[in-house]
């Protein structure tokens, strides 16, 4: 296995306020972790169960952590490798990190929230080990971070899950009101609500929670990907709550760029008149255009059109053309001149055509792993362990790196007002749904 240890990549300037430290749960292939790293965070620990994802992390920035106490005592530097635990979060005692971490972050595994309407208890339906929100509460209780950043699918906010979603928010508000053995979540939630209603919880024992649904395309990711972010601040910080990042890119700007011709000129190709005829111009808003699939495949360095022969194409690793794609009802490809569909975990059989494209040679084909990595804004030298299937699984489950950086910047600006400004991390609103 080729190890590709990466350079720092952090945008934290020397001389800024002290960098934020963090622990990453459910790390996967490292999208959220890498985005926070680029925002200047220093990871004290990363935890991941999936073996292939752990190998990917080792190939890039991580090393195995043999001693949690030593990791908690270490002062992480910009070029330090991320200490990695390969295993279940449930099996890790995070007590050595109590009071030593600014941010606890994690994309909580997307348990099947599509069971809306089924008349079964949520925790009973999904099973204890598949619902890891209680682990987020537990680790928050043990570590007592200043901030918690959690990412999940938008389906969690569906009306059918309102009771459990409210429980998640209240569990993060009062993580130190620990769930008792054999206490079901509804009884625990009643205790949480009672304490919140009483208003007698000290500020250092509670968190202020805000949530927002963000579209990755609005932050320079060439993909339509709406995700839920929940951010909790310790109440005693006096911040008042998370302010979600202001979008830097917009659909309106892309539409105008396509209609007015700047987009086509930039790519040196003739306009697709039949495509632009379906678009309605809008007022300019000063934002950059959404990035498209064609943008991702051509900038900063153009990827060659792959041969569909399962052999590596010239260029960065994982650019391997795969044969056998065919269009059929309900499986329309992503359009080259629009952000891609939401990338899902899987290969053959993934519904909706999320991993296919009509390329510039007129072929209907599967996207390569490297092309999908670009749609997730991983750099070209970020490598993924396994064959095509496991690699696509890691990518579909990841948080786009550029979106993660925008989240990290928004939190850093509030926690470290003296840190270097970053035009991709302006803040606005209160982030509440």
Catalytic residues: 110
How far apart (Å, rounded) are the C-alpha atoms in residues 60 and 3?
A: 7
How far apart (Å, rounded) are the C-alpha atoms in residues 401 and 212?
A: 18
- Count of Cβ atoms closer than 10 Å to residue 417 Cβ: 8
What element of type H or E holds 151? strand 147-153
Q: Which two tokens stand for residue 327?
A: 């269009």
Q: Which two tokens stand for residue 397?
A: 């489950």
Q: Which residue, among 387, 403, 394, 404, has the nearest Cα to 372 in the 3D structure? A: 394
Q: At residue 143, what are phi and psi to the nearest 5 degrees?
A: -85, -30
Residue 335 contacts by C-beta under 8 Å, 6 or more apart in sequence?
A: 275, 292, 293, 357, 358
Could you give the 3-state DSSP secondary structure of residue 353? coil
Residue 91 contacts by C-beta under 8 Å, 6 or more apart in sequence?
A: none
Q: Which two tokens stand for residue 39?
A: 């925002």
| Torsion (CA) 76, 78, 84, 90 in degrees, nearest 10 | 70
């Amino acid at each position: 296995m080729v190890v590709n240890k990466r350079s720092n990549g952090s945008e934290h300037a020397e001389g800024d306020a002290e960098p934020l430290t963090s622990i990453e749960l459910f790390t996967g292939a490292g999208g959220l972790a890498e985005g926070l790293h680029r925002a200047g965070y220093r990871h004290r620990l990363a935890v991941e169960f999936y073996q292939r994802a752990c190998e990917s992390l080792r190939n890039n920035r991580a090393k195995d952590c043999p001693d949690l106490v030593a990791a908690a005592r270490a002062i992480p530097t910009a070029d330090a490798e991320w200490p990695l635990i390969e295993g279940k979060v449930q099996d890790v005692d995070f007590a050595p990190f109590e009071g030593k971490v600014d941010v606890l972050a994690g994309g909580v595994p997307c348990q099947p929230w599509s069971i809306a309407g089924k008349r079964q208890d949520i925790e009973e339906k999904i099973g204890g080990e598949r619902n890891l929100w209680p682990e987020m509460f537990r680790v928050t209780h043990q570590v007592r971070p200043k901030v918690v950043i959690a990412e999940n699918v938008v389906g969690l906010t569906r009306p059918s899950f309102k009771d459990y979603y409210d429980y998640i928010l209240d569990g993060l508000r009062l993580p130190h009101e620990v769930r008792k053995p054999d206490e079901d979540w509804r009884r625990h939630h009643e205790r949480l609500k009672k304490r919140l209603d009483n208003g007698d919880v000290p500020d250092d024992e509670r968190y202020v929670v805000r949530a927002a649904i963000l579209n990755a395309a609005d932050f320079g990711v060439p993909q339509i990907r709406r995700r839920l972010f929940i951010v909790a601040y310790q109440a005693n910080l006096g911040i008042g709550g998370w302010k979600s990042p202001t979008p830097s890119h917009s659909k309106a700007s892309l539409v105008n760029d396509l209609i007015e011709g700047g987009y086509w000129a930039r790519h040196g190709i003739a306009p697709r008149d039949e495509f632009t005829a379906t678009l309605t111009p809008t007022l300019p808003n000063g934002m950059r255009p959404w990035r498209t699939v064609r943008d991702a495949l051509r900038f900063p360095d153009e990827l060659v059109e792959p041969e569909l022969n399962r052999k590596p194409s010239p260029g960065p690793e994982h650019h391997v053309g795969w044969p056998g794609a065919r269009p059929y009802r309900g499986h329309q490809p992503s359009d080259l001149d629009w952000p891609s569909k939401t990338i899902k975990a899987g290969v053959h059989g993934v519904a909706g055509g999320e991993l296919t494209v009509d390329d510039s040679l007129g072929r209907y084909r599967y996207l390569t792993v490297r092309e999908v990595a670009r749609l997730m804004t991983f750099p070209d030298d970020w490598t993924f362990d396994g064959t095509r299937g496991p690699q696509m699984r890691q990518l579909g489950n990841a948080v786009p790196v550029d979106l993660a950086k925008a989240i990290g910047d928004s939190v850093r600006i509030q926690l470290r007002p003296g840190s270097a400004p970053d035009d991709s991390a302006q803040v606005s609103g209160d982030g509440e749904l």
